[in-house]
Amino acid sequence: MTENPQTWCLLVVSLPTSGATARMRLWRAVKALGCASLRDGAYLLPCTNSLPAELANLAAQTNGEAGQAWVVDVTARSAADQAAFQALFSRAEEHAALAETLTKARKELASQSPSDIAKALKRLRKEREIIRRIDFFPDDASLAADAAWADFEDAANSVLSLGEPVPEARAISPLKKEDYQARIWATRRNLWVDRVASAWLIQRFIDRQARFVWLDTPASCPEHALGFDFDGAAFTHVGDKVTFEVLLATFNLDGDSSLAKLAALVHALDVGGTVPAEAAGFEAILAGARARHNGDDDALLADISAVLDSLYTHFNKERTS
Question: What percent of the chain shows pLDDT beyond 70?
Answer: 96
Confidence at residue 3, expressed as pLDDT on a 0 to 100 scale: 47
Q: Is 55 exposed, middle or buried (0-12, 13-18, 19+ CB in 10 A)?
A: buried
- Return the closest-CA partner of residue 89 out of 144, 47, 59: 47
pLDDT value at residue 69: 94
- Average pLDDT of the chain? 90
Q: Are 35 and 93 in contact (CB under 8 A)?
A: no
In tens, the pLDDT along 19-50 reads: 788 889 999 999 999 999 998 899 999 998 89
DSSP structural state of residue 204: I
Q: Give the 3-state secondary structure percentages of the chain, helix then strand then coil, rounded to 5.
A: 55, 15, 30
Predicted pLDDT at 204: 97
For residues 146 and 141, give the distance between their C-alpha atoms in angstroms, rounded to a whole number: 9
Give the integer Cα–Cα distance in Å for 192 and 288.
Answer: 12
For domain 7-87, give the CATH number.
Answer: 3.30.70.240
How far is 23 from 41, CA to CA, in rounded Å? 10
**Averaged pLDDT, 147-170:** 81
The reported pLDDT for the residue numbered 160 is: 66
Task: Please indicate whether residue 288 or residue 162 has the higher confidence score (pLDDT).
Answer: 288
Domains of the chain by residue range: 7-87, 92-160, 177-320
